[in-house]
Structures are given as C-alpha cells and as structure tokens.
Amino acid sequence: MAFKRYIPVESISELTINRLSVYLRCLDQLEQEGVLTVSSQELADRFHLNSAQIRKDLAYFGEFGIRGVGYNVAQLKEHLVNILGLNEERHALIVGAGNLGTALAHYSGFNTGGFRIVGILDNDPKRIGAQIPGGLVVEDVKFLPDIVKERNVHIGIITVPAAAAQKVFDALVEAGVQAVLNFAPTQLKGHPEVKLKNVDLKINLELLSFFLTQAGKLVPPA
Amino acid sequence: MAFKRYIPVESISELTINRLSVYLRCLDQLEQEGVLTVSSQELADRFHLNSAQIRKDLAYFGEFGIRGVGYNVAQLKEHLVNILGLNEERHALIVGAGNLGTALAHYSGFNTGGFRIVGILDNDPKRIGAQIPGGLVVEDVKFLPDIVKERNVHIGIITVPAAAAQKVFDALVEAGVQAVLNFAPTQLKGHPEVKLKNVDLKINLELLSFFLTQAGKLVPPA
C-alpha cells in the first residue's frame, strides 16, 4: 500500500458529515425495500444526490464497494453507523423546558438509534417538577453539574432564550460535556475542546423559498 | 457567448440550496465585520468550506466574482437573497399547536428575513383560542382552506403527530399551498406540484456523535 498523508477528522466539514446521515437514511430505505447492493450512481439517481460526491465522501473513511458491483447495502450501512458512532448510546441533557425543549424531549429520533434524553432542566420554579410527555420531570438547573456527571451526559442541548444561552453553554462545558447542540438564536463563544453545533431551522424555509421562486426556471449546467 | 444547455431548477439538489443559505450566513458575518471582498478560497478557509464547491454552486446561477479579486460581499449577498427568493415576503401557516408548533410560531427567523407566520391551527378545543407567545391565537383547523386563500399562504408547516400528518398535508395541497415543511416523523406521500421538505432534527445529533466518536483521529486525504 502506498504511503498516505492523513488529515485530522476535525478538518472534515459538517456538510460532509451531514451527507453521511443522508446516505444512511437512503440505505435504511433501500434495506426496507429488500435491495442488497447499490452503485453510487444508482444511489445518486434514486435520491437526487451526486455520485462523485458520494464516492469522495466515503473515500475519507476507507475503501468501500466493489468496482462494477457497487456497495453492499447492509455493510455500507453498518460502516456509516460505526463512523457516526451510532453503535454506542449517547446521553443528552436538555437545558430549557419551554416549548422547544419540551418538544425535543419527546421528539422521535432524540430517543432512538443511539441517543437518549436523560434529563430536562429549567430555572423557572413554575416549570420545575412538571412532568413532560414521554416521562421526564423538569429538574432544577442548579443540579446541572451533578446530573452531567452522574448520568454520564455527552451532549448538551440548549433551548433557553438567547440571553441565557452563553451562561448555559459555559456551565455545560464546565461540567464536562463534550458536545453541544444550540437552538438559541445567538452566536455563542465556543470552547476549543467542545464541539458546538448551532441549529438553523430557517435554512429549511429558505430551501422552500428557493423552489417557490425558481419553480420551472432553467439554469445553466454546472 | 457559447450555446448553453440549460437544466431545470428542480434537478438542483437540496444540499446545493442549503449551501447557498450557509454562504449567505457567512457573507452576513463578513459584512458585519466590514469585509468588502472575499475570494472563494478565503471564504472556504474562514468557514471550513470547500472552495471548488463554492465556485461550482454559484456557477449554477451565473457569473459572479472577478478572477484574482474575488466576490464583492454585498453584491454576492444580494444575488443569494434573490436566488433564494428572500426579497419577497413568504406567508407560512403552522398546523399543530403542540409544543413544537408553538415554539416555531415564535422562533426567531421564522418571522424575519422574508418569512411571516400568519396563523397557527389545531383541532383540539382545549388549544383553540389560546394565545401563543408572539401574539397569534390558535384557530380551528376546519378553517384551513379559507385561511390559506385569505392570508395568501405559500408555505405550510406540519407539526401534528405522525398519524395525522398525511391528512394535514393533503388538506394543505387541496387548499393551494405550494410548499410544505414537515416536522412530523413520518414518510408522507407527496404531490408532484408541491415541494415537500421533511425536517430531520436528528441529523444534528448524529453530527455531534461523529465528532465524539472520531475526535482526534486521522483519516486519509480525499
């Protein structure tokens, strides 16, 4: 095997990782349909993806597929599950028990396939003690450090108002959380050792706006 | 100018459109910092993007930028706003006034930069008439067809339970809505003339899981 220069995982873009999740959803669907093998071109045609991009994205993580045959659906799925770390259970803690935090606490997908919400916290005495659909009870945010340690929390989910988000982020980092999903619409000052992902729900509305605006138009080929 | 074969906008992938939104966020930030011009390479380095991808994505929509100088930040931003149709006001209607629907009704971004939530509907008598933070009052879903027409609704947002989502989607289509954002965790049967986008919040958790799993590892170069 030829010598290879390796690059740090941190330099792989979030868009690449998001595409791995998209490929995983596609493979799930193919598996449900009983499809056993698929080429990058078939995968691309079927799900409106780019075959060269698929090959490039997967090449980051080793050699998959057999030339002329394609990928074994079950094997590629297992590879993606391993790459994304979905074979281990990740514990997540929600901070902010308003509408969004409450919705996420029982959102399908946040308690399946590798993830489990182990708590939901707030600082409002009117919310503390309330039972959330799904079974959790809102706890006092003052217990955040203990809860992170005792329940082995890997991921913090911030659903507090923008003005409180930095304080919550800092508290999560201080408590030892390694990754944070921020829904508060504000730019947080990050931490070099903690992966911070800001969720941008508006991007979906912009996608629809694009199609409403451009519907039926023609654009030059790339 | 050479003859060009044009392709339908519908064949541009959602991932490409999502990247336009990402570029727009980056340009917003550069503009706030007083940056006037930026090359695709600088944009890529600064925001961990891919410069070839940026050039390719933008090339779909015409010629931007000056070779050797780069893009004028304000002009490119304006182009992206126009491409995404954010220069027109889009009216959106939320169906499902549970925690998620209520959260989205006053989510920052859903009422700014081209979008306005013009109503929130439910079929639960206990919810109908309730005031939502932000000012809207929950209305009866039986008025959906009239509300879509009278308030000129372009986008429907589905936040009902999975079991009710198809019925709501069909009602929105029947009423004349052209684009639908579905948060219900279920596969909807679409309609050829209506753009349907399923929101996958789990993809963000999977991104964090990837970084937790792979942190510090090295991967081969692409």
Q: Where does the pLDDT of residue B113 fall: very low under 50, low under 70, confident under 90, or very high at 90 and above?
A: confident
How high is the pLDDT of residue B218?
60
Is residue B3 over pLDDT 50? no
B84 interfaces chain A, CB cutoff of 8 Å: yes
Is residue B134 over pLDDT 90? no
Three-state DSSP class for B75? helix
Chain-wide mean pLDDT for chain B? 89
Domain boundaries, given as residue ranges, for chain B: 11-83, 90-202
How high is the pLDDT of residue A1?
36
Is residue B4 over pLDDT 50? no
Is residue B144 over pLDDT 50? yes
CATH topology assigned to domain A9-83 = Arc Repressor Mutant, subunit A (1.10.10)
Is residue B86 over pLDDT 90? yes
Instruction: Give me the phi and psi of A155, to 5 degrees please.
Output: -125, 130
Interface test with B, best of A16, A43, A118, A204 (most B CBs within 10 A): A204
| C-beta neighbour count of B146 within 10 angstroms | 11
User: A70 - beta bridge partners?
Assistant: A66
Regions of chain A with pLDDT less than 50? 1-5, 222
**Could you confirm whether domain B11-83 is CATH 1.10.10.10?**
yes
Give the one of B60, B90, B99 whose C-beta lies nearest to A212's C-beta. Answer: B90
User: A90 - beta bridge partners?
Assistant: A115
Measured between beta carbons, which residues in chain B are less than 8 angstroms from residue A181?
A: 204-205, 208
**Fold agreement (A9-83, A90-202):** no
B173 interfaces chain A, CB cutoff of 8 Å: no
B214 vs B158, more confident: B158
Is residue B166 over pLDDT 50? yes
CB contact under 8 A, A9 and B201: no
> What is d(CA B24, CA A186) in angstroms, rounded to the nearest whole number?
16
How high is the pLDDT of residue A131?
96
Give the one of A48, A60, A221 whose C-beta lies nearest to B7's C-beta. Answer: A221
Annotated binding-site positions of B: 96-101
CB contact under 8 A, B9 and A211: yes
Give the one of B56, B107, B202 whose C-beta lies nearest to A201's C-beta. Answer: B107
A97 annotated as ligand-binding: yes
A1 interfaces chain B, CB cutoff of 8 Å: no
State which of B61-65, B131-135, B211-215, B218-222 shows the largest mean pLDDT: B131-135
Is residue B96 over pLDDT 80? yes
- Please name the amino acid found at residue B104: L
- How close is the nearest chain A Cα to the Cα of B184, in Å? 9
Between helix B202-214 and helix A73-83 the angle, nearest 10°, is 70
CATH topology assigned to domain A90-202 = Rossmann fold (3.40.50)
How high is the pLDDT of residue A221?
53
B52 interfaces chain A, CB cutoff of 8 Å: no
Tokens of A138: 């809102």
- How close is the nearest chain A Cα to the Cα of B123, in Å? 18
- Asked if A65 and A43 touch (Cβ cutoff 8 Å), the reply is no
Q: Where does the pLDDT of residue B115 fall: very low under 50, low under 70, confident under 90, or very high at 90 and above?
A: very high
- How close is the nearest chain B Cα to the Cα of A34, in Å? 18
B69 vs B35, more confident: B35
How high is the pLDDT of residue A26?
92
Q: Where does the pLDDT of residue B66 fall: very low under 50, low under 70, confident under 90, or very high at 90 and above?
A: confident
